[in-house]
Amino acid sequence: MSDLSAKAQALRALHRPGEPLVLANAWDAVTAKNVEAAGFPAVATTSAGVALALGYEDHEHTPPDEMFAAVARIAAAVNVPVTADLEGGYGLGVDELVERMLASGVVGLNFEDTDHASGGDSLIATDVQAMRIADLRQAARASGVDIVINARTDSYVHQVDDPFDASLERGREYLGAGADCVFPIAVREEPEIEKFASEFAAVNVLFVPGVPDLARLAQLGVARVSMGGGLAHVSFSAHKQLLERLRAGQSYW
């Protein structure tokens, strides 16, 4: 476990407010290799990209065995630390979740608070999710690898009343429970991002249209920026356009 432990420490050290870790999320071995070759210091997976590449929809429709097999291929393809988007944990207990992570060679995860067991239409109660994070942290330390926990809160996704305050409350609880970084996915407004960056030890922003550019996110104190499924969707769309050209009798170059 010494190599994985060192990678977990290296991944954690890359979360520096004002010097954000930029994650160009990969969905298979070749895209992971491309990310590493481009000079990125870590690889993150995208659950959406992996799911679609495997023939499933996102939001925990991918069987855990297939998701972990894909993640393991990604981790085996690169030398840099790998963090995996494991959604809400696929219904696994924390001990099994950590065990399967480490067996796959990954040292960090996105861990979200959407209640997928009930159909994905609601949030897990804040105290319940905080306890899950605390148990996950304890299981990781017991394994000998102190994994990096990126606690995703979906208050904006579910359009709760005052998602900003809800995300603040949840983020504070999650950090107190042992998370390393808070991920208020779908936040776009600069003042809110700046407030999160000032409140949390490390904040992750999803890089999508409407979000400040990378340089500005750094100025705001963001510690982590991820593409999510964006690169995968753009790549899949480009492939479809090339196929349309070929079907029309044109070249694809």
Is residue 53 predicted with pLDDT exceeding 90? Answer: yes
The pLDDT confidence band at residue 235, using thresholds 50, 70 and 90, is: very high
CA distance 231 to 35: 11
Mean per-residue pLDDT, 176-188: 98
Q: What is the pLDDT of residues 133-166, one digit of tens each?
A: 999 999 999 999 999 999 999 999 999 999 999 9
Q: What is the pLDDT of residues 59-118, one digit of tens each?
A: 999 999 999 999 999 999 999 999 999 999 999 999 999 999 999 999 999 999 999 988
CA distance 217 to 221: 7
Taking a C-beta distance cutoff of 8 angstroms, is the pair 168, 192 a contact? no
Q: In what order do the strands lie in the sheet with 204-206?
A: 21-23, 224-226, 204-206
Mind listing the domains of the chain with CATH numbers? 2-247 (3.20.20.60)
Q: What is the pTM of this model?
A: 0.97
Is residue 27 predicted with pLDDT exceeding 80? Answer: yes
CA distance 194 to 217: 8
pLDDT score at 120: 86
Taking a C-beta distance cutoff of 8 angstroms, is the pair 217, 208 a contact? no
Is residue 1 predicted with pLDDT exceeding 90? Answer: no
% of the chain residues with pLDDT over 90: 97
